[in-house]
């Protein structure tokens, strides 16, 4: 019986690197497509319908940041950014644009494959109606977080969130008033040692606060010097 392979879009203007990545991913039974510029990448999102995008930042035409912005206007497809830029600023900017992960070049190809698998495991868009008995859902006044179908409803309206943001929110809200360190959150949500530092947690918390604000019944509270908690106000 034929198996539908998950599809990876590889966006890199260095075709040698792109071909090497494709070789390793193909061995892991992924279907790959290579494009070498930003415009082609945006088009391929519609035509190829990838399950994940490996996105180089330095591209001819529109750069990787702009590609990420355009993709995020219409899709929550996981994006792993690849870049020779290793500064924290560049990583934070990539995450703020909506990337799910960030790897510096040169990188170990086996680690890249492991990260692809990890991100895909965590991104499970709903393809059928959820079974109520099996739902992973938490609710608070004006807020419903559903990890089964990856949806967030705030003040009666759906809120678009990349998978990592939603999982972070769900994890915190599932244990109200429990304080988690940044290291614990990295381990729980990302599941592996993240290249960079714990500021990636801060970036995702900042984005959650921008989308949800500070409700009269609950908030995402900072515990200075420790981490964060989902605080209910009685």
Strands 101-104 and 227-232: unpaired
What average pLDDT does range 177-204 have in this prediction? 77
For 132-232, the fitting CATH number among 3.60.15.10, 1.10.10.10, 2.60.40.420, 1.10.3480.10 is 1.10.10.10
Give the dihedral sign, CA 206/211/214/218.
negative
Tell which residue, 188, 141, 152, has the closest CA to residue 168. 188
Q: Residue 13: pLDDT above 50?
A: yes
pLDDT value of residue 42: 92
| Range 83-92, long-range pairs (CB < 8 A, 24+ positions) | 83/56, 83/57, 83/58, 84/58, 85/57, 88/196, 88/197, 88/199, 90/57, 91/195, 91/196, 91/199, 91/200, 92/199, 92/200, 92/203
Q: Decide whether 7-122 matches 132-232 in CATH topology.
A: no
pLDDT band for position 30 (cuts 50, 70, 90): very high
Mean pLDDT rounded to a whole number for the chain: 84
- 30-42 average pLDDT score: 93
pLDDT higher than 80, residue 234: no
What is the arithmetic mean of pLDDT over 32-36? 95
**Between these two residues, 194 and 33, which has the higher pLDDT value?**
33
C-alpha distances out from residue 150 to 18, 78, 92, 119, 161, Å: 31, 13, 24, 14, 8
Record the tokens describing residue 21, joined without a space.
Answer: 């990545």
pLDDT at 108 over 70: yes
Contact 57, 37 (CB under 8 A): no
Q: What would the two tokens of residue 35 be?
A: 């494009």
Which overall architecture, per CATH, does domain 7-122 show?
Answer: 3-Layer(aba) Sandwich (3.40)
Distances (CA, A) of 82 to 8, 48, 198, 211, 218: 14, 20, 19, 27, 37
Instruction: Tell me how crowded residue 88 is: count the other CB atoms within 10 A of its CB.
Output: 11
β-strands 101-104, 79-83: how paired?
parallel
The sign of the dihedral angle between the CA atoms of 9, 102, 210, 159 is positive
Q: What is the pLDDT of residue 128?
A: 36
Confidence bin at 100 (pLDDT 50/70/90): confident
- What residue spans define the domains of the chain? 7-122, 132-232
pLDDT above 60 for 193: no
More confident residue, 5 or 43: 43
Cβ count within 10 A of residue 207: 19
Read off the pLDDT of residues 109-168 as tens digits, 9 standing for 90 and up: 888 999 898 888 776 554 333 435 556 889 998 999 998 888 999 998 999 888 889 999
Query: What are the residues facing 11 on neighbouring strands?
Result: 35, 55
Q: How far apart are CA 102 and CA 121, in angstroms?
A: 17
21-25, 50-54, 174-178: the lowest-pLDDT one: 174-178
């Amino acid at each position: 019986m034929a198996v539908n392979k998950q599809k990876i879009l590889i966006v890199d203007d260095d075709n040698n690197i792109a071909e090497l990545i494709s070789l390793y991913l193909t061995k892991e039974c992924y279907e790959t497509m290579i494009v070498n510029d930003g415009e082609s990448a945006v088009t391929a999102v519609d035509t190829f319908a990838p399950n994940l995008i490996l996105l180089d930042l330095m591209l001819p035409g529109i750069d990787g940041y702009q590609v990420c912005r355009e993709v995020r206007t219409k899709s929550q497809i996981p994006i792993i950014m690849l870049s020779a830029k290793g500064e924290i600023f560049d990583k934070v900017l990539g995450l703020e644009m909506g990337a799910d992960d960030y790897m510096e070049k040169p990188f170990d190809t086996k680690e890249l494959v492991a990260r692809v698998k990890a991100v895909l495991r965590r991104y499970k868009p709903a393809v059928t109606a959820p079974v109520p008995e099996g739902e992973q859902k938490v609710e608070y006044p004006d807020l419903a977080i559903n990890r089964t179908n990856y949806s967030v409803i705030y003040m009666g309206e759906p809120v678009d969130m990349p998978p990592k943001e939603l999982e972070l929110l769900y994890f915190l809200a599932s244990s109200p008033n429990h304080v988690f360190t940044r290291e614990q959150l990295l381990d729980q949500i990302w599941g592996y040692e993240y290249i960079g530092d714990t500021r990636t947690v801060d970036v995702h918390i900042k984005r959650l606060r921008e989308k949800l604000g500070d409700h009269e019944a609950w908030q995402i509270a900072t515990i200075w010097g420790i981490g964060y908690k989902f605080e209910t106000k009685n």
